[in-house]
Amino acid sequence: MSNRFGSAQKYSISVLSVMLVMSYGYNSGSTDINLTLNTAPGSVALAETQTPAHNKQAQEILCAQVPDKVPIQELEQAPEQKVEPKKNPPSAAPENLERKRPGRERELPKRERPFDPTSVPPPLAGNFPKDVIPLPDRWRLVEAIGVNERWYDPYNQNTWKGDRPLKGTKDWFLNITAISDTVIEPRTFPTPVGVQTTERRSIDLFGNPDSLVASQTFIASAALIKGMTTFKPQDLEFRLTAAFNVNYVKVNEKRILFVEPTKGIERTDVFLGIQEAFFDYHIRNVSDRYDFDSLRIGIQPITSDFRGFLFQDQQLGVRVFGNRDGNRWQYNLGAFVRLEKDTNSGLNAVLRTPRRDAVFLANVYRQDFPIPGITSQATVIYNLNREAGQLEIDTNGFPVRPALIGNLRGRDYDVVYLGYNTDGRIGRLNLTTSMYYALGQDKDSIFTGRPATISAGFGAAELSYDYDWMRFRVSGLYATGDDDPYDDTETGFDAIFENPQFAGADTSYWIRQNVPFAGGGRAIGLSGRNGILNSLQSSKEQGQSNFNNPGTYLLGVGADFDVLPELRVSLNANAIGFTKTAIIENLRQQGNISKAIGLDLSASAIYRPKMTQNIVFRASVASLEPSAGFKDLFENEQRDKRYLSVLLNATLTY
């Protein structure tokens, strides 16, 4: 009997355990399997209920009523009972419900932290101040672990380059920049022979083409800025930038460097110019994304487009600028008075009276227009020049205003430039375009002496494709020329102050060198230094725009190779020519001049040993292979087959 009851007891407890496990872990749809205890001897039954709440209540009752060891007598004598599930409590509001896994929740084991017997025990909580804990500003937290700045280190955090606020202040920063720019430039170009010459065999129109230029420029800049600019624009900025230049030039013909032949064939000059001196005031924020309006007054940099085709300079003026719609829109409104430039260095001569030449501009940028990846810019620029009554002689004694071309008379002119420019990407293609239309009036045409209407156009585009570490480029440029110098319309396009970053830029021969226009004017350049347009100006820095010019076209291909992270090699080939030749044929009294100037070939390398802009070395060589038009203008007795330009440049920046 005892064996039978002992077996029943074991059987009942085992089945009860299995049923509890099934009730705890099983749930299917809306029907839960729960336990109903039948206290008849040896009987444990399963029942179905409809809600998880019933299931949980039954489990709690079972766990509370069934002990670990059930006496046999109680199992035999107890009447049959059935546990009735309690009614569901009223449901809580939906917002107060908490999502839980159905069934009985298991208690997870207590998580124990790893113990390191060598670690230092944490300090007691009572050792800390309860109210205020002083902390240094976030820029100087590293000093607590022994990392201190060095004032001469440009690669790490440094107070002198604006990485940390000045001591004793919270949001005033000082940014000091120092630059050393060294240029050595051997070159050859068509060198006119003066009336007086002492060189044998220099009896032709052109003499020895060899020359050498060496230039050293030291630039120092200091900016005092108020405001933490990590997420928002600065509140105030005061900036001053000065440049000191020493230059040396040697040629082989007299009256090239000086108007006086007695001054020789070498020249050394020094000059100190102010390139920036402005005050920047943050007017307001107009959105929670820090869209803003700001005002800048003083000598400041300004550019009219993405590549510097029309107007890129540092000039005296007032500019209001800002953005909207999370920086998707940007705008500029400005008025500038052009400063005189030093003849030999090209720096601003702030101690001289500003020119009677004003520039007013308005432009607006829109990102992702007309398609995503492209930034569009629309611009209107008005150039007002009133220098007809002025006579300006440069430092070397050559007249620059008015230019010694045509009727040699001074000019006033008004010209408005309407422009549309784009820059960005279309898939893997990089695209830059620029279009301008110039309209206005020249008060005194250099050929007729009558007022003339200005109507000229310009277009340029560069398309490039990136493939791994290589970029391949195709470039095209067209500037209209004047086909009739004696009518009352001037159709030769000219810029205000160009500095094109295009088709090889200053590594190209035609863009880098100033090619003189001998025989058709005096002290006139066919193209200016660091300029691409055949504008026939006396000087890009000190002369006036000239809309009686032969125009320019350029077709080019190029490639950039990132051979190393520190080294980039570039190759360029450009075909350059005139769009019209009527102007130069009349000035030279020479007919049938070809439009083709020549083929400009160049190769350059840029080496950055630290992979930053702090140390940059550049070297380039360019060659102009003359075509029929260039030979018609500049062919000499020696019959030079090509002209060369070598550029060695080292830039050190702190």
> What span, in angstroms and rounded, lies between the C-alpha atoms of 212 and 247?
11
How many Å is the maximal CA-CA distance in the chain? 146
**The predicted structure's pLDDT at residue 208:** 87
Q: 86-90, 241-245, 283-287, 550-554: which has the minimum mean pLDDT? A: 86-90
Position 639 pLDDT exceeds 80: no
C-beta separation of 379 from 458 below 8 A: no
Domains and CATH numbers, the chain: 2-88 (no CATH), 172-653 (2.40.160.100)
pLDDT mean over 14-24: 42
C-beta neighbour count of 428 within 10 angstroms: 9
pLDDT category at 99 given cuts 50, 70, 90 is: low
- Over the stretch 527-544, which tens digit does the pLDDT of each residue have? 999 999 999 999 999 999
CB 375 within 8 A of CB 364: no
Classified as helix, coil or strand, 490 is: strand
- Look at residue 3 and tell me whether its pLDDT is greater than 60: no
In the predicted model, is pLDDT for residue 618 greater than 50? yes
pLDDT of residue 100: 60
Per the CB < 8 A criterion, the answer to whether 383 and 338 are in contact is no
Whether the ω angle into residue 41 lies within 30 degrees of 0, i.e. cis, is no
Neighbours of 454 (CB within 10 A): 23
Any idea of the CA torsion for 394, 396, 400, 405, to the nearest 10 degrees? 170
* Range of weakest confidence among 301-315, 362-376, 531-545, 624-638: 624-638
Q: Is the pLDDT of residue 649 over 90?
A: yes
- Residue 225 one-letter amino acid: I
Judge residue 475's burial from the number of C-beta atoms within 10 Å of its C-beta, 0-12 exposed, 13-18 middle, 19 or more buried. buried
The answer to whether residue 24 scores a pLDDT higher than 60 is no
Mean pLDDT of 593-600: 96
Pick the residue with more confidence: 120 or 356?
Answer: 356
Model confidence, pTM: 0.78
> DSSP states of 555-571 as a string?
EEEEEEEEEETTEEEEE
| Percent of the chain with pLDDT strictly greater than 70 | 79
Is residue 166 pLDDT above 50, yes or no?
yes
Share of the chain above pLDDT 90, in %: 63
Question: What tens digit of pLDDT does each residue of 212-238 get?
Answer: 999 999 999 999 999 988 888 999 999
Question: Tokens standing for 535?
Answer: 């504008």
Token duo for residue 405: 């071309």
Q: What is the pLDDT of residue 637?
A: 54
Q: Which residues of 193-217 are buried (b: 16+ CB within 10 A; e: fewer)?
A: beeeeeeeebeeebbbbebeebbbb
Task: Name the nearest CA neighbour of 362 among 316, 309, 413, 311.
Answer: 311
Asked if 538 and 525 touch (Cβ cutoff 8 Å), the reply is yes
Average pLDDT of every residue of the chain:
84
- Whether the pLDDT of residue 490 is over 50: the answer is yes
Backbone angles phi, psi at 590, to 5 degrees: -140, 125
Predicted local distance difference test score (pLDDT) of residue 49: 40
CB 165 within 8 A of CB 171: yes
> Quick one: pLDDT at residue 43?
40
More confident residue, 7 or 600: 600
d(CA 575, CA 77): 115
> In the predicted model, what is the mean pLDDT of residues 579-605?
95
Over the stretch 495-515, which tens digit does the pLDDT of each residue have?
999 999 999 999 999 999 999
Q: What pLDDT sits at residue 53? A: 46
The pLDDT assigned to 223 comes to: 97
* Exposure on the CB side of residue 205, measured as CA atoms within 13 A: 14
Rounded mean pLDDT, 140-154? 79
Residue 86 to residue 53: CA distance in whole angstroms: 9
pLDDT for the residue numbered 638: 56
Rounded to an integer, the average pLDDT of 586-607 is: 95
